[in-house]
Amino acid sequence: MSDHWQYLIVMAACVAITLPLELIGARVYRRPRRWMRALLPVLVVFLVWDAIAIAAGVWSYDPAYLTGLTLPFRIPVEELVFFVVVPTCGLLTYETVTLMLARIERYRGARREGVRS
């Protein structure tokens, strides 16, 4: 395996690992407008931040781990992928935890009602 693909492979693994959360009810991918509203601020803020930091020489990226594809302002495409994948995985996790907590509460409520009857 070429080192140039490692970063993107890790991002693909993150998506693959969290994909089952969508299937059990997170409903992130099934609500694309809401998903995009959650991602847009992250993309704007951090891509601008990266562009400024790269231009100022504050940080750089090891080309050994990049595909060589860049966005404007010399931002590696891997950064864009990161800023999409990581918040999406976080959102999937958050939505799943919220769903599971609601299910647990409904279950407890049903049990309490059963005890009172």
Residue 117 clears pLDDT 70, i.e. is over it:
no
User: Residue 17's pLDDT is what?
Assistant: 96
Structure confidence by residue, pLDDT tens digits, 24-68: 999 999 999 999 999 999 999 999 999 999 999 999 899 998 999
- Rounded Cα–Cα distance for residues 39 and 31 (Å): 12
Task: Give percent of the chain above pLDDT 70.
Answer: 97
- Rounded Cα–Cα distance for residues 87 and 98 (Å): 16
Residue 104 clears pLDDT 80, i.e. is over it:
yes
- Phi/psi for 53 (5° steps) reads -65, -40
* CA nearest neighbour of 42 among 78, 73, 10, 88: 88
CB 48 within 8 A of CB 54: no
pTM of the predicted protein model: 0.85
User: Residue 54's pLDDT is what?
Assistant: 95
